[in-house]
């Protein structure tokens, strides 16, 4: 099981890491912590291009800006200062690359959200460590399987600053899953492009004898 950015909280809950009440409390605390106002506020931009093309745009952009999300081979998200994002949008337009500002409150998965790390590390209602879970969990930051015994607070604190690599997560999940699951139309194409195959992901539930994998998503 795995989740994209905020969706990773739901994946951990579904795997049995914490109960529904604490899922809601954690999501609310994360949202409050990551939101800023005033001069420090950043933003995010979605690009319809490859990772290499996005890196080329970054090299031409002044100011603080990073590659925040690798969502598919042709969908990348940049995060950073508003002036740097505007410059990136103009550079992308000159190269014929579609760019769109995302309606978010800050530059998530970047150092501009570093103020939220301490808040997440100090959340007392979460279990200290990831105990026994009901199914396998995969990280959206590196695609690797999440091991039991990790510090939940440190994991979710680090996730705030880390790049999301949805491609690696989907491919890792596909490699370790045995039964197909077809998500809604909105995400079917993204998953298939990540895997270069029609084989999607497996889900744990009624009729399945073994645990399997299910990607969970936020809105962006």
Q: Note the pLDDT of residue 105.
A: 86
The pLDDT tens digits of the residues spanning 59-89 come to 999 999 999 999 999 999 999 999 999 999 9
Alpha helices in the chain (DSSP H): 7-14, 20-34, 51-59, 82-94, 115-121, 152-161, 166-176, 185-195
Instruction: Tell me the fold of 2-35+114-216.
Output: Malonyl-Coenzyme A Acyl Carrier Protein; domain 2 (3.40.366)
Buried b (16+ CB within 10 A) or exposed e, 204-213: beeeeeebbb
**Share above pLDDT 70 across residues of the chain, in percent, rounded to a whole number:** 78
Percent of the chain with pLDDT over 90: 60
Q: How far apart are CA 201 and CA 182, in angstroms?
A: 7
Domain ranges of the chain: 2-35+114-216, 42-104
- pLDDT confidence of residue 181: 47
For 177-200, write each residue's pLDDT tens digit: 655 444 545 444 554 555 554 444
pLDDT reported for residue 101: 96
As a residue count, the chain comes to 220
109 among known catalytic residues: yes
Lowest mean pLDDT among 8-22, 108-122, 134-148, 169-183: 169-183
- Flag whether pLDDT at 56 surpasses 70: yes
> 134 with 211: CB under 8 angstroms?
yes
The highest-confidence range among 6-15, 49-58, 181-190, 193-202, by mean pLDDT, is 49-58
Catalytic residue of the set 4, 5, 140, 155: 5
Nearest to 106, CA basis, from 40, 12, 178, 56: 40
Of residues 4, 13, 109, 155, which has the active-site annotation? 109
Question: In the structure, what pLDDT confidence band is assigned to residue 40 with cuts at 50, 70 and 90?
Answer: low
Contact (CB, 8 A) for 123 and 28:
no
Q: What is the pLDDT of residue 38?
A: 58
pLDDT band at 202 (very low <50, low <70, confident <90, very high): very low
Active site residue 5: yes
Residue 35, pLDDT score: 78
pLDDT digits (tens, 9 = 90+) for 111-141: 999 989 999 999 999 888 999 888 889 999 9
Domain spanning 42-104: which CATH class is it, in words? Answer: alpha beta
Domains 2-35+114-216 and 42-104 share a fold: no
């Amino acid at each position: 099981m795995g989740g994209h950015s905020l969706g990773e909280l739901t994946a951990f809950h579904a795997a049995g890491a914490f109960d529904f009440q604490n899922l809601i409390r954690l999501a609310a605390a994360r949202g409050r912590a990551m939101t800023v106002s005033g001069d420090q506020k950043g933003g995010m931009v979605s690009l319809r291009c490859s990772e290499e093309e996005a890196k080329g745009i970054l090299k031409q952009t002044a100011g603080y800006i990073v590659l925040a999300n690798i969502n598919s081979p042709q969908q990348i998200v940049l995060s950073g200062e508003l002036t740097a994002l505007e410059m990136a949008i103009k550079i992308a337009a000159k190269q014929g690359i579609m760019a769109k500002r995302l309606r978010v409150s800050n530059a998530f998965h970047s150092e501009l959200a570093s103020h939220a790390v301490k808040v997440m590390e100090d959340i007392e209602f979460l279990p200290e460590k990831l105990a026994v879970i009901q199914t396998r969990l995969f990280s959206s930051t590196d695609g690797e399987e999440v091991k039991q015994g990790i510090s939940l607070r440190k994991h979710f604190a680090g996730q705030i600053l880390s790049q999301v690599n949805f491609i690696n997560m989907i491919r890792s999940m596909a490699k370790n899953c045995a039964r197909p699951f077809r998500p809604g139309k909105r995400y079917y194409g993204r998953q298939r492009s990540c895997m270069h195959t029609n084989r999607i992901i497996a889900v744990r539930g009624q009729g399945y004898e073994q645990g399997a994998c299910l990607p969970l998503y936020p809105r962006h």
